Each structure stands twice: as structure tokens, then as C-alpha cells.
Structure 1
Amino acid sequence: MTITIDAPRMPNVFDAGLPTVDYDNETDPYRALAMLRRARRQAPIALGPHGPEFLAYDIVHEASRDRRFVVPQGMFLASQGITSGPLWDRVVATIINMDGDEHHRLRRLVCKAFTPRATERLRTTVTEVINGLIDTCTADGRCDVVSDIARHYPIPIICALLGVPGGDWEHFARWTDEFFKAFSWNVAENEPSILAAWEELDDYVDAMVAERRHELTDDLVSDLIRAEDEGDRLTIEELRMLVAGLLMAGTDTTRNQLAASVSVLCEHPDQWALLARQPDLAARAVEETMRHSPIVFGTLRTVVEDVEVAGYRVPAGTLVILNSAAANRDSGVCEDPDRLDITRTAALPMQTFGGGVHYCLGANLARLELTEALTVMARRMPNIRRTGPAPWKPLSGLSGPATLPVAFEAGY
């Protein structure tokens, strides 16, 4: 077992001469991954600017399932001096910020709404949305994948999941853009607009819930109203929180990962052509591109008691980063990990969706969206290639290409 109970004789992780890494402002994921690879060859843990970073697959896998590693309260807020107030109260009440019994209760109530069978009903919508976006650029044979396709892709799908009328999609897009400012490094200046958007969404959800209570329909809001376990039901506050959480967790992640997956496949035209010929490889292509080029390098955790990890003592209260990007490229679990191969079957499951009690609730929906998008794009955008630089956003948070200009054969 790599992670054990406290072992006082073990060297403190901060005093053990571990390698250091700092990729916060890096916009080239390959340089950052090379830095992490060098550090992992020296030790399974490195010291980053925010705390120890777990780099080896086994310790990332185990820590993500260990109840002694909890989500830090307030996420990015506390590090910026915000530890109370209305925005703090809202962020700490989201399901992604919870642990313990209340987190378990909410996941138990809502998990049925996110099963593969539940999300399968969106397949037709997903296909229509991605085809509609490609229709706008296929005649020219060029586009920016980020601004023309990826940015507009998930919102209509999430709105369809929720049961939102098509005419209201733009409201949700605007609210979502504001919510993501709560997870940036300049929250204070954006707090008023974030809270205003959140209140507007609350009012919208209240109206939806009131309407659905009179007549339930085939959508997620109705599923959440139906959700019950031994007499336990969701409150209106919890319904509001879950809708906001879905927008936060399911929008920019899909946007950025789609762009990142297409970007790396542009660098491997043989893989793109193979995907076009064998669309049944799309699901593997999603897993492989998320392993090879994830848009989240790691997740934050706080250690609630002293633990020993890979021979080092991590003191209670330490903020750690479970670096899933480094773990995904651990040669101990993946042969030739720096190579992209959409036919790969031997590697252990990638860690990008997290693990344990915080495994991504929307993973089934994300896989469906990405699989359908890559299937359609590979078929309708043959011979795709970049026509300019595709720098990534800073890697310290949610990243991915900031722009991805491409050309391809027109008319498909």
C-alpha cells in the first residue's frame, strides 16, 4: 500500500529535497509535461508553488479515493483572501466543494440522472448540434475550432438536458461565462457580476421547478425533482445549486477538451484519417486524447491528518495537487506514454475524470459529447491541419487551446 497511516520517522515532504516544478504560466503543455516527466524520474512527488504534487499513477489513483484527502473549502477563493461573504457561501455549497455525509447524500440522490442510459437520450441532440456548427464553416474549409465550434458546443446540449427552451440558450451561455470567473485568480473584481448572474439563474430555476412540479417532463430538472431515496428529496436550494454546478462542471471542460483533442489529432494526421475510416474508434480516441492531452493537469486536495505517501510524510493541513496529467503519462502503467495512439488498449484507465467519491458525475455525458464530436468532425473535416499557432491558456487552472485555426477539405 503506497499511502498508509502516519509514520513519524518518514522524512517530511517539504524537507526531503524533492524536485520542484512550476508550470503555472506555461502555455505549452508539452514543455510542462516534459518538466513533470523529468521530476517524476527523480521522485513520485514534486514540490510546486502551491504545495506537493503527486506525479506517479499509483499515488494519484489512491489519494483520489482516500477520504483523508478532501476538497479544500472555497477552492480558489481562500487563496485570494476570500473566506466569507455571499460568493464564498455559494461556492462552498456546491457539490464539487463538498465532502462527507452531505456530499454522499447528494450524489446518491442525483447519480441516476447521469447514467449512460439517462444521457443516451441526448445523442440525437448532440449529433444535431455538432453538425450544425460544422455546417457554418465547411463551405470555406477553414475555421477556428475554439471560437467557431468548441465554444458553442456544450451549452445547447446542457440546456436540452435541463429542458430549457432553445430561445433561452444565450442566457445560460452568459451566466456560465460569469460563473467561471469564480475559479480565476482575480475573483474580487468580478464578484458583483458573478453574484448577479447566479441570482438570475436562481430565479430561472425557481420558475422551471414550479412549472415541473405541476407537470414533470423528460429532462434533468424533472429527474432531480423525482429523485428520492428512502423519503429524502432535494430542496429547492439544492436544485438551484446542482443546476449551477452542472453549468460550471460541464461547459468549459467540454469546450476545452474538444479543442485539445482536435489539436493533438491535427499533429497526428494519420490518427485523424484512421478515425474517419473507423468511426468506431471514437470512444478510444476520447480516452486517449484525454490521457495524452488533458485540459486539467490536477485537482486540489487538503490532507486532514498526517499521512505517509511513497515514503514521505505529508503533514495535516497540507494543500496537495493530484497531478493526473503526470499520472496519465507514467511509463509504469502505460507503454510509450508520450505517443498518441487511438487504438491503445493496454494502458490503465486515465485519471482525468478523477476518482473515488469525487469522480466526475458528468463523465458519461462528456464522453458522449466528445465521442460524437470527434466522429462527425473526422468525417466532415478531412485532411485537417493547423494554419497558425495554437497556444494554450495558462496550465494552473482549466486550460486548453486559446485558439486553434485550421484548414480542411471543404464540402463534406
Structure 2
Amino acid sequence: MSAISTAPSVFDAGLPTFDYGLTATPHDILENVREAQSCAPIAIGPFGPEILSYELSREILRDNRFRLPPGITLAAQGITSGPLFDKLANSLLGLDGAPHVRLRKLVSKAFTPRATARLQDTIHEVVNALVDRVADAGGCDVVTDLARPYPTPIMCALLGAPREDWHLFADWTEEVFKALNFQPDVNFDESAIMRAWGELDAYVDDMVAARRNDLTDDLLSELIRAESDGDRLNLDELRMLVAGFLMAGTDTTRNQLAASVQVLCEHPDQWTKLRDQPELAMQAVEESMRHSPAVSIVPRAATEDVEFGGYLFPAGTFVMVNTFAANRDPAIYDDADRFDISRRDVPPILTFGGGAHYCLGANLARRELAGALTVLTRRLSVPRRIGPAPWKSLLGMTGPTTLPIEFTAQPLVMSGA
């Protein structure tokens, strides 16, 4: 047993406090965060302690004493047990400890930069087709016309699903993702989610059965091939992982693409810079995810009494890691609120998480976003926002709900890109 802590309780240490409602967006809380951040690296927010500094945020995301509470999003819908809760708790996101380490080890053998690099042609084909649909109109809603339909074809191509079935995956992910939403939803229907998830599982079972005898060049085949010390993934695990990839790789990319396009539109000099220097695409992704991230809050709970950052966090304490604040920490980033895609020598953003649950698809997400932004800046000249672009709550997946823009379209030039 470790010595009894003499650190003050995080709740009794006189830390700065700030408040916000369930519908607050990242932009709504920025001023309050700045004020609290200037006083201390931790503050007491509306749901408990919030980690605001870059250094402590990075540290807590790697600290196994703080874990993601299983089924936390379902609890927001009033569901704390049952088949859907069990299914989510046993996903890669819900697992911890040895079972999680084992799965990550196997999956990482399949999820390599080389595997995602094969998607480059698909990425360009999908984005250009979406631009072609709106080019003549000279305007569009980035959210509904470009960002929403973009990731599903990429994920399907990655997995190896035939093009004629891509619409099925779009419907399934739309329904199942409701189980991952923090916001209470009046349209939440557990039986509809289970039905959609069941249909997805059955489809994946058929794909796995077909691949067993005829492995191809796609992620599902790589997962079937994956082996570590004689260990392989079983059918239940393959099924769970495919659903997890679809969930993790669809909504995040949709929301981040819309957020990234918005911040680039609002900084025309940066849009032009990326158009003229497409080699800055990856940096543009990092900077837009730092400045305007689709994921701003990472929940954790203390699994035991934990001394962290000079304070005692009692067992069960619910902690919000405010990665939005951490990514704008003035102690780390020069002129932290400035949006500049040519920033260099900066530490990695925390938007992809950290530690055991660091996003497995980070390479793919970066590649998808970089590919989309490269095409969009080349083909849409002088885009301008022409209406409000309200954001969703920072407590779930955030980003603009609508983003109307007008532009001058440039024709697609076939150039080997």
C-alpha cells in the first residue's frame, strides 16, 4: 500500500471554477477557459474537475488510474445495462487492461500507414465526385453536401465492401452512432439500434466467410491475417472491430472535415496558402484539429484514490480532460488562438487522445482529411460563408451543424494527384 496522501482534495483546493450548459459549444467556453487556465492547470467545471493544461492533459490520458467509464454515452440516455450496454462495453473502446492490450496488438498489425496509403485514389475520386455535384451551383452546405457523405465510401473501400452496398453501411452507422452520443436524444430507440447493429454484424459475418478462403488486399483480410504469438482474432472480435472502425471513422471525420473547412474559409489567406502549397496539407489537418477540433472533451473516471497534479482525486471522481483548452495552452503554443497552417516544431495535438486508447485510425483520419482539403482548396476558389454556422455541444462530437458557402468552382484537372 502506498503512503496516505497529504495532497489536498481537488474539490477543496480553491481551484478556479467555471460553468457552462449542456448545449455550450467550444467557442462559448473559450473566454472562461482562458481565464481559468491563467490561474491553474485544473479547474472545477460543471461536471467536476477539468484538466486545462497541455502537460497535465497529456499525462492523465496516459495514466491507467483514470479510465473511460464503460457505456458512459448510454448512461446519458438512461441505459446502464442490457444487450446494447453489454455490446458497447465489450467494444475496443470499452475494454481495458489485458483484453484491450491483446486486441490492440493484433489490430495494429493490420492498421498500418501502408494499408491506408492504398486509399489515396479512392479519397480523391470521392471528393472530386462530391465537388462535381455542387460545382455548377456555385455554393453548397459543406456539412450536408460534402462532409456527411464523404467518409462512408472511404471506410467501405478500406474494409473491402462492394460499392453497391455502401449505402447500407451509411444507414447502419447513422443508426448505431446514436449509442455513442452524449446528448440525451428524444429519438433514441434501443431496439432500432440493436436491429441495425445486428444487420451490420450479419453482413460482416458473410464478408469474413468469403475472405476465409480468398484473402484480398483490404483491411478485413489484414485483420483475418493478423497474428501475434499464435493468437488470432475470432469471429466475434472481427465483427466488433469492423463496427468499431465504422463508428470511429465516420462521424469523427465528417465533423472534423466541416470544422476544418470552416476555419480555412474564415482565414482566406490560409485557404490560399494551402491551395498554393498542397504539401502543407498534413500540417493544415493538425492545425485545424488543434484550433477547431471535432472532439473537445475526453471523459475519465478515477479507478482508485489518485494523487495527480498535486491534488487528490477520490475514487470514482469524474474528470473531464479538456483537450480543446490543452490544444490552445499559451504555455505550449505561441499565440495559441492564431490559426496558422505553417506552424512548425509544435508538440502533437491531443485531439486523438493518448495512452492505451490513442486513436487507432489516426493515420487514416489524417490522410482522409488531408486528401479532402487538398482537393477542396484546389477546386473551390475564394469560398465565403454566407450564413450562420452553429456548432453542436462540446460534450459530444462537435462541429458545425450547417455551413453554407459560396465559391467559384475550378474544373477537375487530371494530374496524377
TM-score tier, shorter chain, comes to over 0.9
Q: Which residue of 1 aligns with 2:414?
A: none
Q: Which residue of 1 aligns with 2:276?
A: 277
* Cα contact 2:26–2:324 (8 A) shared by 1: no
TM-score using structure 1 length: 0.96
Distance 1:21-1:167 versus aligned 2 partners, 3 A rule: farther
Q: Which residue of 2 aligns with 1:186?
A: 184
Q: Which residue of 1 aligns with 2:383?
A: 384
The offset of 1:70, in angstroms, is 1.3
Superposed CA offset, 1:339-382 (max 9, x none): 00000013211100011111100000000000011101001001
The offset of 1:120, in angstroms, is 0.2
Q: What is the CA–CA distance in structure 2 between the aligned matches of 1:398 and 1:190, rounded to whole Å?
A: 19
1:170 to 152, 167, 171: 167
Paired AA for residue 388 in structure 1: G
**Is 1:323–2:328 an aligned residue pair?**
no
Q: Which residue of 2 aligns with 1:349?
A: 348
Moved over 6 A (4+): none
Q: Which residue of 1 aligns with 2:242?
A: 243
Q: What is the CA–CA distance in structure 2 between the aligned matches of 1:148 and 1:42, rounded to whole Å?
A: 43
SS at match of 1:407: strand
* Cα contact 1:256–1:401 (8 A) shared by 2: yes
Superposed CA offset, 1:231-254 (max 9, x none): 111111101100110111110100
**Is 1:84–2:66 an aligned residue pair?**
no
The offset of 1:28, in angstroms, is 4.5
**Is 1:42–2:39 an aligned residue pair?**
yes
Alignment of 1:4-403 (within 5 A): 8-26=5-23, 28-184=25-181, 185-186=183-184, 189-403=188-402
Query: Identity of counterpart residues, as a percentage?
Result: 59
Superposed CA offset, 1:33-73 (max 9, x none): 22211111121112223221111011110111111111211
Distance 1:307-1:165 versus aligned 2 partners, 3 A rule: same
Distance 1:247-1:70 versus aligned 2 partners, 3 A rule: same
The offset of 1:79, in angstroms, is 4.5
Paired AA for residue 189 in structure 2: N
Paired AA for residue 306 in structure 2: V
Q: What is the CA–CA distance in structure 2 between the aligned matches of 1:269 and 1:199, rounded to whole Å?
A: 45
Q: What is the CA–CA distance in structure 2 between the aligned matches of 1:373 and 1:391, rounded to whole Å?
A: 22
Superposed CA offset, 1:8-53 (max 9, x none): 2222111223223334444543222222111111211122232211
* Cα contact 1:24–1:396 (8 A) shared by 2: no
- Specify every segment of 5 or more residues in structure 2 that has no aligned partner in the other structure, as ranges: 412-417
Q: What is the CA–CA distance in structure 1 between the aligned matches of 2:117 and 2:358, rounded to whole Å?
A: 19
Give the length in aligned residue pairs.
408
Distance 1:35-1:222 versus aligned 2 partners, 3 A rule: same
Q: What is the CA–CA distance in structure 2 between the aligned matches of 1:16 and 1:52, rounded to whole Å?
A: 11
SS at match of 2:29: helix
The offset of 1:147, in angstroms, is 0.2
* Cα contact 2:327–2:349 (8 A) shared by 1: yes
The offset of 1:308, in angstroms, is 2.2
Q: What is the CA–CA distance in structure 1 between the aligned matches of 2:406 and 2:224, rounded to whole Å?
A: 46
Root-mean-square deviation (CA), in Å?
1.5
Q: What is the CA–CA distance in structure 2 between the aligned matches of 1:79 and 1:306, rounded to whole Å?
A: 25
Q: What is the CA–CA distance in structure 1 between the aligned matches of 2:23 and 2:269, rounded to whole Å?
A: 28
Q: What is the CA–CA distance in structure 1 between the aligned matches of 2:59 and 2:86, rounded to whole Å?
A: 30
Q: What is the CA–CA distance in structure 2 between the aligned matches of 1:168 and 1:211, rounded to whole Å?
A: 15
Q: Which residue of 1 aligns with 2:415?
A: none
Q: What is the CA–CA distance in structure 1 between the aligned matches of 2:381 and 2:318, rounded to whole Å?
A: 45
TM-score using structure 2 length: 0.95
Paired AA for residue 57 in structure 2: V
